[in-house]
Structure 1
Amino acid sequence: MDTNTTNNTTPTTTPTPPLPPLQPLRPLPPPPSPPPPSPPRQPPSTPTPPLTPQTPPPPPLPPPSPPLPPQPIQIPPPPPLPQPPPPPQHHHHHHNHLHHHHTTTTAQTTST
């Protein structure tokens, strides 16, 4: 049992002394070097921005292709909805006229 504990300590000590992982961090600073392309993108930003943003939108469209099946289901419900709006509008107009008349009479009566 003691041997197992010692073995466990050995591997633990080995990973701790390996400072090499810190060295890879040093090369990390070079990655920020890619930002330099930002300056050149600024000047052509005027003539290139319209083309660059337009090109990325097309790629995202492919994924939404699968949701196309649910779209056809939404298309049928819209037709029945447009029919009901016409009748309520007619009724509303009539109600508005009657209500207005009633309100005017009540307002005058209150004023008196």
Structure 2
Amino acid sequence: MRSTTVTQTDSGRTVVLELDDELIVELDETPATGFRWTLARSADGVLTSRGSGYIAGQGPPGAGGMARWVFVASGAGSARIVLNCVRAWEKDPSPCSTFELDVDVSPRP
């Protein structure tokens, strides 16, 4: 199993994985502002989520940290994942930022 980590600078790119490879998405986040990353479009059938969480930064309280999503390549094919940074309590929230990643998964040789 190979592990690939992507960040905000990888938005709009394509990642090539093999079955059972791990994909880690790490995005800057400052929960004190109310904005949190949410999964808007998953890659069902191609990627399986292994969970998500928040990693606090080293700064003072209220400083930003990192949202972390872990996926495993579970099926061959192509898909796109989309994460939006929104205030979840707002009605029809507009994202402050969007992360999109195309994923191509192939069987192991």
Q: TM-score, length-normalised on structure 1?
A: 0.13
Normalising by the residue count of structure 2, what TM-score does the alignment of the two structures yield? 0.14
Question: Between Structure 1 and Structure 2, which shows a larger proportion of strand residues?
Answer: 2
Q: Which has the higher helix share?
A: 1
Structure with bigger RCO (C-alpha 8 Å, 6+ apart)? 2
